[in-house]
Each structure stands twice: as C-alpha cells, then as structure tokens.
Amino acid sequence: MSVVTIIGAGMMGSALAFPARENGHEVRLVGTHLDREIIDECIKTGRHPKFSVSFPSSLKYYQIEKMEQAIDGADMIIGGVSSFGVNWFADFVLPKIPDTIPLLTVTKGLVDTADGKLICYPDVWQKKLDELGSKVSINAIGGPCTSYELVAHDQTEVAFCGKNTDILRKLKNIMTTDYYHISLSTDVLGIESAVALKNGYALGIALTVGLNQKERGLDSELHFNSQAAVFGQSVKEMKRLLTYQGCDTLENLVVGVGDLYVTVYGGRTRKVGILLGRGLDIDQAKSKLNGVTLESLVVAVRVAKAVKAAAQKGKLCIKDFPLLMHIDDVITNKAEVNIPWEKFTFTV
C-alpha cells in the first residue's frame, strides 16, 4: 500500500482518487483555498459535488490548512490545480514537497514567450524548484481523459511523462487499474505540448456544430463532414506545431489526437465553440457559460501568439495555420466565424 496525496479538489484531481483508492492505497484529498466548500461537502457526503457517484470508501479529506499533514509520509503527490493555479502551486505548494516525494501534475497548458517559444508547466515549475534548490521529480499526465468518465470507469488511456524512468514506473504501478491504462514517456515537452495544442482545435471543431445549428436550427442533426474537415486540418496544424516544438513523434501525435477527440465531446470547450459558431461573440459566449473556467481559450490564444512571433522570425509560416489564425481572430478580435475551408486544401 502507498499513500497518494492529491492537492486540488477540482474534477480531474479528484477523479484520480478513484483508481488510486481502488488499488488499495491510502488517498488524501486536499482542497485549495478555492475548494473549501467541496471538501466540506466531501466530508459530509463522501461525494464530490460535481460527480454523480460517491468516492470509494475511506478517502481522507483535508482543508488547505492541513496540507502539510496530508503531504507527510506520502509516496506520491498529484497536483490537481487548473492552469489558473499554476503560480499559486509554484509559490505555495512546491516549497512544501520533500525531495523524496515525486509529483504528478494534471495541469495542462503552455506559456508563450516573446520570441515565439511555447513552454510547458513542468518546465515552468522546474525553474521554481531549481531556485528553491529542491530535487522534487516533476511528472505530468497527458492524454484523453475526462474526469467524469474516469469516475464512471470508462476504459481510459493516458500517458505519464517525466525525466526519471524508475519514478515513472513507480507512478504507473501505483495508479494503473483494469480501466486506467498508462503509457510512459520521458518526452515531457512532447506529451505536454500535444495535449495543450489540441485546445484551440477542439474549439474549432465545435464551431462547425454551432454553424450548422445557426443554419439548420438548434435541434438539427449533427453533421460530421464539416467536423471531420476541421478535425483533419487540426491534426495537420498540430503535427506542424509538434515539429516546431521539436517533438513530432508518433507517440506524442497519438496522445494529442486522442485528446483532441475527447475534447470535442467533453465539456466546456465544446460549449463555447458551439456558442461562437451560433454567432455569439466571445464575451456573450463567456457570460452564457458564467462561472466556467475556460483554460482552452487561454492556450489557444497563447499558441497563436507564439506562431505569429515565430513567423516574424521566419521560423514558421502563418499560411500553414489558417485554422488556428481564424480561431484566434474569433477569440481575440471578435471576428465573425467564417471558417476558411478552401485554405485547408492542399494541391499539386
């Protein structure tokens, strides 16, 4: 038996309590300062307010003030904050993790730099650890996994990435179940880029759903030719971006494409894309989804900024990213959705 401490009681972090606890480990779920009511509810009912089923029995719940107690004696820590909590996690949590306890983070995203680079969160945090003189091993999860389906025990394939193969094997050994299947990779930037890049593109595919609803009515049947056209273009642009990131491997591509597939269907990104496709502008769409965090928009805009910066330096060609540029234009400049279909074609 191991001890698994999850910091951040959002949906994804909390969902990982299921495979961990079902494998017989002690699981300690720590809420951040934003999760206070969630933890109260978990203590009272044994159920996360956003899940339809109860946690496995004997989970331990902690408010943020007791985080150090929850970390003490842990064999691994799962970082379960959203990308909006990256700095908080760096400043507040990282300094309190002993060198001996490996970290596995679910936080997805990329940070763009002025010269068009895209940096993943494990690398952002590594810098912080280096400053602290900490030797904590940072590992990350990528791949197609919606939290509520993991909770429902749908068969799920993800990838754990990190620099140390022994630690990766240990983490897989703790977390793997007959429904949670784990690939391992030492290409952290590759896995993290692949699963972050998909965000804008999932939004793009959802735009076609909204466009069709605008034209044919809200209750009209889904059309898949147009979704598939944007899906194909998305894969094209994602693969080019993986090449730019120096990590265009089959494994990374497949993890990203799978994640794109699930994101088209799973939740918030789809919702905002459909609203934009129907003709709402980004402010109207956001206000309709009041209270929902939209990490995907942030990532999409950052990736577009990096592409533009890289293009200015002659390292990428804007023409190779017509879909991303349009999505960025819709989000950033409130451009009307008008998918550049003909620009997706290639020719002899």
Q: Which spans of this chain sit near a copy of itself (rule: CB under 8 A)?
A: 143-146, 149-150, 152, 154-157, 159, 165, 168-169, 181-186, 208, 212, 222-229, 231-233, 235-236, 239-240, 250-251, 253-255, 257-259, 261-262, 265-266, 339, 341-342, 344-348
Give me the least distance between CB of 163 and a copy of itself, in Å please.
10
Nearest to 42 by CA among 54, 33, 52, 34: 54
Give me the least distance between CB of 106 and a copy of itself, in Å please.
14
Nearest to 233 by CA among 340, 116, 348: 340
CA distance 2 to 50: 27
| 2, 26 Cβ separation under 8 angstroms | yes
Strands 138-142 and 156-161, how do they pair? antiparallel
C-beta of 112 vs 187, nearer to a copy of itself: 187
C-beta of 171 vs 325, nearer to a copy of itself: 171
C-beta of 58 vs 345, nearer to a copy of itself: 345
C-beta of 183 vs 332, nearer to a copy of itself: 183
Give me the least distance between CB of 133 and a copy of itself, in Å please.
27
Give me the least distance between CB of 152 and a copy of itself, in Å please.
7
CA distance 171 to 184: 10
CA distance 51 to 288: 22
C-beta of 63 vs 183, nearer to a copy of itself: 183
Q: Is the dihedral of CA 302, 298, 274, 255 positive or negative?
A: positive
Question: What is the CB-side half-sphere exposure of residue 86 using CA atoms within 13 A?
Answer: 19
Strands in 81-144 per DSSP E: 103-105, 110-112, 118-120, 138-142
Give me the least distance between CB of 164 and a copy of itself, in Å please.
9
C-beta of 83 vs 146, nearer to a copy of itself: 146
Give me the least distance between CB of 236 and a copy of itself, in Å please.
5
